[in-house]
Amino acid sequence: MQDLHHHLNFILELDKLKAVYRKALIKADNNRYENSAEHSWHIALTSHVLAPYADSSVDIARVSLMLLIHDIVEIDAGDTFAFDHLAVLSAQSIKESAAAERIFGLLPAPYNAQFIDLWNEFEKAMTPDAQFAKAMDRILPLIQNMQNNGGSWAQNSVTKNQVIQRNQYLEKSAPKLWHYVLAQIETATRNGWLKEE
Amino acid sequence: MQDLHHHLNFILELDKLKAVYRKALIKADNNRYENSAEHSWHIALTSHVLAPYADSSVDIARVSLMLLIHDIVEIDAGDTFAFDHLAVLSAQSIKESAAAERIFGLLPAPYNAQFIDLWNEFEKAMTPDAQFAKAMDRILPLIQNMQNNGGSWAQNSVTKNQVIQRNQYLEKSAPKLWHYVLAQIETATRNGWLKEE
Ligand SMILES: [Ca+2]
């Protein structure tokens, strides 16, 4: 029962992700800010819904678990805006690794290491599973911004090339979605929601 | 690409679950009310964390997907308090079936039927997967209330037997957790957080 106590402690710690707020707005809830817990739910489920478009090498059950845990490090490290300066993003990366050690470390062996490994796999984005997971994390803001007159892009002067780069993970892990995304980015640029340069 | 459009519409519709509030409070975020999207994230992840305690017949990947979708019907039907009157709960059940038809029906075949079937399996709770999923939905409030001087139990005069019945799904799907839960319920009753009768 000693082990169970550690599992339950980890589960309680997760509650804190509901207090980490992102830049995205929830239109359905009076445009309040989105938190990282509900965001993680949305993209984990998105991976199941878009599974028919994934390359056959992708294991959706692993992708979904990756997405459920991918933002947990923000409990200690906070959220960073995706298009922030490189120095900010690199300091963030160090904070997140320490956070992964502490938070997943609440679990007993071997589960702590399994979660840390899965989180590292997501971060490195070298496997088909991690690449499809990254793609889910990136396609959702795109869909939302397209519905919202450019949303966070327009507010933060994001360029067309930045968004193309961020969604590049789709090229191999889900080619059909990649073509769709490129077309959407063209539309956004034509509408002035993304800057040409 | 016609199908993709329907998939994306469904994904956008999901945003509305972030505006459905439950009776549970988030201690980590100034005791605001919890919404059903972040709750779904928490228990889907809880099923992975407690997987080592599940009976071997349980498929955690299916359980996790069940939990990701189990509350989506609340977009149309709203949340009901678990210990509400029977007439309220039965009217709710009819509203939820209609909601499942409408919301999962946004997806093209065969995905609409797959999701409706999975949601019905969860509701009926006759399979080991659905029983473990139900157990996750019920053990989390228990863990939270135990940390919070009885939390929503104390506020709503819930009885010991009501909580035992609600957690009974654990008995077969995760016997070790069942013994733990029974001991916690004893403690809660001793502390006056649950009523004897
Ligand atoms: Ca993210």
Sorted by where each starts, the structural domains of chain B and their CATH numbers stand as 2-190 (1.10.3210.10)
Q: What is the pLDDT of residue A43?
A: 97
Q: What is the pLDDT of residue A2?
A: 67
Which of A2, A4, A8, A119 would best serve as a mutation to test chain B binding (most B beta carbons within 10 A)? A8
Please tell me the least confidently modeled range out of A79-88, A120-129, B99-108.
A79-88
Search chain B and give the residue with CA nearest A10. Answer: B49
Q: Give chain A's end-to-end CA distance (angstroms, integer).
A: 59
Q: What is the pLDDT of residue B2?
A: 66
ipTM here: 0.92
B35 strand-pairing partners: B21
Q: Which residues contact B62 (CB under 8 A, 6 or more apart)?
A: B118, B129
Search chain B and give the residue with CA nearest A8. Answer: B143
Ligand 1 centroid from CA A80, angstroms? 9
Show the low-confidence residues of chain B (pLDDT under 70): 1-2, 81-83
Q: Do B14 and A61 touch (CB under 8 A)?
A: no
Structure-model confidence comparison of residues B105 and A152, the more confident one: B105
Average confidence (pLDDT) over A117-134: 96
Q: For chain A, say whether B182 makes contact (Cβ under 8 Å).
A: no
Mean pLDDT over each residue of chain A, to the nearest integer: 93
| Segment B29-40, tens digit of pLDDT | 999 999 999 999
Q: What is the pLDDT of residue B91?
A: 87
Q: Do B4 and A177 touch (CB under 8 A)?
A: yes
Query: What pLDDT band is residue A51 in, cutting at 50, 70 and 90?
Result: very high
Residues in B 118-137 with any Cβ partner in A closer than 8 A = none
Cα separation values, B167 from B136, B161, B171, Å: 9, 10, 8
Helix (H, G, I), strand (E, B) or coil at B166: helix
Ligand 1 centroid from CA A108, angstroms? 26
Q: For chain A, say whether B21 makes contact (Cβ under 8 Å).
A: no
